[in-house]
Amino acid sequence: MATKKRKNPAAVALGRKGGLKGGKARAEKLSQEELSEQGRNAVMARWTKYYADKAEEEKKGG
């Protein structure tokens, strides 16, 4: 029987600690224009997916 690999709890905690800081620190370094552009790109990506899914449903007749 194969043994399951387990993650090192110390490594998991360290990675999470850095990950929690990452987004906020990155946002603080961006200019207002860069932050706004990234937000706009994120919104466009979500809405593009929404409309693609909606078109797919209409093709199926739903």
pLDDT (tens digit per residue) in 2-61: 678 899 999 999 888 888 888 888 889 999 999 999 999 999 999 998 888 888 888 887
Residue tagged 């990155």 (tokens): 26
Report the pLDDT value the prediction gives residue 25, as an integer from 0 to 100. Answer: 87
Report the pLDDT value the prediction gives residue 23, as an integer from 0 to 100. Answer: 82
Distance of alpha carbon 8 from the chain centroid: 24
Number of independent structural domains in the chain: 1
19 assigned to some structural domain: no
44 assigned to some structural domain: yes
21 assigned to some structural domain: no
**Region class of 61: left (phi > 0), else alpha (psi between -120 and 50), else beta:** left
Report the pLDDT value the prediction gives residue 21, as an integer from 0 to 100. Answer: 84
Which structural domain, as residue segments, surrounds residue 45? 31-62
Which pTM was predicted?
0.50
User: Is the separation of the CB atoms in 39 and 32 below 8 Å?
Assistant: no
